[in-house]
Each structure stands twice: as C-alpha cells, then as structure tokens.
C-alpha cells in the first residue's frame, strides 16, 4: 500500500510543495524557542551583573519578538495541517476504497457518543475530529477520533481546583447493522461489570431494566460483560459466530474494546493513545513510511465490516 502511494507522481508533487511549507514552519518555531530561551538568559544575566533593567529590557525584547513570530506562524501551521489532511491523507485513502471520505473538522457528534451507551459518564468536555465515512459492499460505516472528559473539583485554602479525567480517548466506529433492534445490547470489558451494573440504577439514558446476559461462549463471558433488556434479542445478535468474530477483533487490539447494538447501528470503541492523520512539523514529509500508521488504522477499520461479516444480511430492517 505504501509503495503505491509513494510512487504516485501527483501525490509526490503535493508532498514536495508541503515540505517547503513544513521547513519554513519548523525553522520559525525553532527561532521562537531560541528567542524564548534567550529572553530568560538575558533576565538572569541582568540580575547577575546587578543591572536588572538590562535583564528586563532584553527579556521583553526577545520575549515579545518570539511571541509575535509564534502567533504569526501558527496561522500558517493550521493551514498546512489542513492541507496535509485534505490533499495527502484523504487522497491516499482512495487506495483502500474509493468511497472513503475524510472530513477533518467533523467528527462523531456528542449526542451519538452518549446514545451509543458505551460509556458510563456524560462528558463535560468533548473533542472529536477526522471523520472518515464510506461503504464496504452493502454496509455503510463511519468513525472518528474522540476525546471525552469529565471534571471534578476540589477545594483547599487556595480556592477551587478543577481536575479533568478521561472517559475515553480513541476511535469510535459505527456501522449499519441492517436491523432495527427493539432494545439496546451493550458489551463491555469484564472489569467494568460491577460498576456498570450499579451505574444502570443511577443513570437514565435508555437502559431501563437491563440485566446481565449469560452467553454460551465461556471465553467471551470471561472477557466481556453483556447487558440487555431483552435476553432473546441479545442472543439473537450475539450468535456463536459473532462472538468469535468480536473476540478475534479484540485480540488485534492493545486494549479491550466495547461494543453496543442500538437502533439499527453497531458501535465499537477502540481505546487508543495515538493521534492519527496529523502532519509532522519537525520531521520530513518525504519519509517513505510517512503514511504507514494512518493507512493501517483506516484499513483496520474498513476491514471490520468483513471481520464481523456485516455484509451478510441475515435480517432486514423493519
């Protein structure tokens, strides 16, 4: 995949042009950091030689120059990053599937993050970007990077302090399951079991009288806790074949995934720490492996449709 991308003449021309911009941005940032460092050195020297006014003037001159340069180049850097996503990454995705569309400034809406019922806390701060959508045979799917947080506050003699805690950071994948489910079925890592069960009684999204579903796959039950208000429908969805496919998908991930079946959609949350699709600033765009990680994660998400056999239409939507 990468060799095909890096031998694409049109794409190489775009990369060569963006590389000029990248070098300018990187050099400007470097100059800013030097000026900031110089500002502090002049301040210290001024106090050391007991002429603080010289230190303050030097600090002000270098510091202000560095700040002005920094904010001026920031606008250029933002445009460079957007151009990289739209002119490099988005075009490279067409090598996986022509239907794939990258929308950098869009993501998974917060209401959909909440309605997926995968997470036990409503976010107080929510960020999402880099929405990728497409179709794989008969199945529509989309996914985006998400960082959701909740806050707590503590009080001490200095006042109130706000602390931010991560609810989820990674990619949320959504696919059409071709069936309108009567109720929600949620599959979460086993470790969330007791906390999740008690959470049901205290939070009202749409869970109602959800209860643990005991399934016939021991390995699946050891890895995941499954909840639903309809035991029959949950077992209808989580067939032996589907459970094996979810286990296989999970084995390819560093952290345990979460899955839910809501309305006519399947949601999968993949905890990830890496931020994908970002243009490098301090390393070259001409690296042959530049797109390796980005292409790999998109291909992984794209192939979920086949991994879980979502194109096999066992049911029809009511």
Q: Can you tell me the distance from the alpha carbon of 273 to that of 55, in angstroms, rounded to the nearest whole number?
A: 42
Residues 10 and 130 in one domain: no
Q: Is 148 a domain residue?
A: yes
> 198-256 pLDDT, tens per residue?
444 334 334 456 788 888 899 999 999 999 988 889 998 898 999 999 999 999 988 99
Residues 29 and 146 in one domain: no
DSSP-based helix, strand, coil % in the chain, nearest 5: 45, 25, 30
Q: Is 289 a domain residue?
A: yes
- Domain ends where: 37, 64, 93? 93
Look up the domain containing 60 and give its range.
Answer: 2-93
Residues 175 and 294 in one domain: yes
> 5-35 pLDDT, tens per residue?
556 777 888 999 999 999 999 999 899 888 8
Q: Is 213 a domain residue?
A: yes
Residues 70 and 123 in one domain: no
Q: How many domains does the chain have?
A: 2
Cβ neighbour number for residue 189 with a 10 Å cutoff: 16
Strand 265-271, strand 159-176: pairing:
antiparallel
- Determine the pLDDT at residue 26: 94
Residues 83 and 134 in one domain: no
Q: Is 315 a domain residue?
A: no
Residues 39 and 109 in one domain: no
- Domain ends where: 93, 113, 132? 93
For residue 57, the 8-state DSSP code is H
Residues 111 and 75 in one domain: no
> 35-69 pLDDT, tens per residue?
888 888 877 877 777 777 766 777 788 888 888 88
When pLDDT is cut at 50, 70 and 90, the band that residue 274 belongs to is confident
Task: Find, among 24, 28, 22, 62, the residue nearest to 42 by Cα.
Answer: 62
Q: Is 318 a domain residue?
A: no
The owner of tokens 């070259």 is 284
Q: Is 314 a domain residue?
A: no
The owner of tokens 């706000």 is 162
Q: Can you tell me the distance from the alpha carbon of 52 to that of 58, in angstroms, rounded to the nearest whole number?
A: 10
Residues 169 and 286 in one domain: yes
Q: Is 300 a domain residue?
A: yes
**pTM: predicted TM-score of the whole model, two decimal places:** 0.82
> 84-101 pLDDT, tens per residue?
999 999 999 998 999 999
Residues 6+ apart with CB under 8 A from 149: 123, 124, 125, 126, 164, 165, 166, 167
Residues 61 and 178 in one domain: no
- Domain ends where: 55, 72, 93? 93
């Amino acid at each position: 995949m990468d060799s095909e991308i890096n031998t694409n003449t049109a794409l190489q021309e775009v990369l060569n042009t963006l590389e000029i911009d990248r070098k300018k941005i990187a050099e400007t940032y470097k100059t800013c950091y030097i000026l900031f460092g110089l500002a502090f050195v002049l301040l210290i020297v001024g106090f050391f030689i007991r002429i603080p006014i010289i230190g303050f003037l030097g600090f002000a001159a270098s510091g202000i120059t560095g700040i002005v340069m920094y904010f001026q180049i920031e606008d250029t850097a933002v445009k460079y990053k957007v151009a990289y996503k739209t002119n490099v990454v988005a075009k490279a995705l067409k090598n996986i599937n022509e239907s794939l569309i990258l929308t950098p400034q869009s993501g998974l809406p917060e209401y959909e993050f909440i309605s997926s019922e995968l997470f036990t806390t409503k976010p107080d701060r929510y960020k999402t970007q880099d929405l990728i959508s497409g179709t794989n045979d008969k199945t529509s799917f989309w996914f985006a990077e998400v960082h959701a947080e909740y806050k707590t506050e503590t009080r001490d003699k200095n006042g109130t302090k706000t602390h931010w805690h991560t609810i989820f950071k990674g990619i949320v994948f959504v696919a059409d399951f071709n069936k309108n489910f009567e109720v929600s079925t949620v599959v979460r890592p086993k470790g969330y079991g007791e906390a999740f069960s008690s959470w049901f009684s205290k939070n009202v999204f749409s869970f109602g009288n959800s209860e643990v579903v005991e399934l016939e796959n021991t390995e699946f039950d050891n890895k995941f806790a499954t909840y639903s208000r309809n035991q029959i429908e949950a077992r209808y969805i989580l067939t032996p074949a589907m459970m094996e496919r979810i286990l296989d998908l999970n084995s390819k991930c560093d952290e345990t995934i979460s899955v839910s079946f809501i309305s006519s959609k399947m949601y999968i949350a993949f905890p990830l720490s890496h931020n994908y699709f970002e243009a490098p600033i301090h390393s070259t765009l001409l690296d042959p492996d530049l797109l390796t990680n980005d292409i790999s994660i998109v291909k992984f998400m794209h192939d979920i449709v086949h991994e879980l056999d979502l194109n096999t239409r066992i049911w029809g939507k009511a």
